[in-house]
Amino acid sequence: MVLIDTHAHLYLPQFYDDIEQVLINATKSHVEKILLPNIDNESLAPMMNLCNRFPLHCHPMLGLHPTSVKEDFREKLSLMESMADNKIFVAIGETGMDAYWDTSFLSQQEDSLIWHIELSKNKDLPVVIHSRETMDNILEIIRSSGKGQVRGVFHAFSGTVNQAMEVIDMGFKLGVGGVATFNNSGLEEVIKAVDLKHIVLETDAPYLTPVPYRGRRNESANLIYIAKKIAEFKNIPIENVAEITSNTATELFNLKSQ
């Protein structure tokens, strides 16, 4: 059985003291590949260093997180653009919009998202989208940017069944993580309604730790609990969940070449 964690921030300080053990734990829990979305300019170096240390396990993305979008976001994007030809990147992201913490820079977040979408099209890479309380806005932007011309993942999907179907119709996958294991998350209905081939697994480590370890630091090894919950919702063996979601991730992120 092989699992792929399509979204984890293992380069953050929370993992500085035991990253080797974290990767050993992941391997023991059948997680063979871990994709690392970038946050901002400061996270680029630690992310790339981790991928250089563990190239068989860790694969980077290139992007500016929406909550890192401030007045100087175009300068930050300029640096990212200068790195975009590096073939090591498996995706553009994470990008998107976030209206939960602060709405002061929503207009700039929209501009940043459009920039990332255009970069993903130019580089023929999937784009990983953060959509906290902004799902409808982002779907409209993708429509305007050319439905079918861009592909990727809606990270930490938390929308309705109708929104899930629209995301899939746009050519995107649903990123499902630890929230699926929470009581009353609303994701059970979505997971039951969509074909498993439209779902990829993610931890968002060190955040969104699944049950039974909710409240502790998350890590990629916990992906297995997310796979088990999806198997429970779908009433299928966990091996089927692993095979289908890993095949989807491998194809979407072109991981056979990595």
**Is residue 96 a contact partner of residue 134, using CB atoms and an 8 Å limit?**
yes
Question: Cβ atoms within 10 A of the Cβ of 140, count?
Answer: 11
pLDDT, tens only, 166-182: 999 999 999 999 999 99
Query: Quick one: pLDDT at residue 225?
Result: 98
Is 80 exceeded by the pLDDT of residue 104? yes
Query: Quick one: pLDDT at residue 101?
Result: 83
Query: Quick one: pLDDT at residue 248?
Result: 98
CATH of the domain at 38: 3.20.20.140
**Is residue 198 a contact partner of residue 251, using CB atoms and an 8 Å limit?**
no
**Is residue 92 a contact partner of residue 124, using CB atoms and an 8 Å limit?**
no
Both structure tokens of 247: 């095949």
Radius of gyration for the alpha carbons in the chain, expressed in angstroms and rounded: 17
pLDDT, tens only, 17-76: 999 999 999 999 999 999 999 999 999 999 999 999 999 999 999 999 999 999 999 999
Range of the domain at 57: 3-257
User: What share of the chain has pLDDT > 70, as a percent?
Assistant: 99
pLDDT class for 157, splitting at 50, 70, 90? very high
> Average pLDDT, stretch 106-128?
97
Question: Cβ atoms within 10 A of the Cβ of 31, count?
Answer: 27
Domain count, the chain: 1
Work out the mean pLDDT of the chain and round it to a whole number. Answer: 96
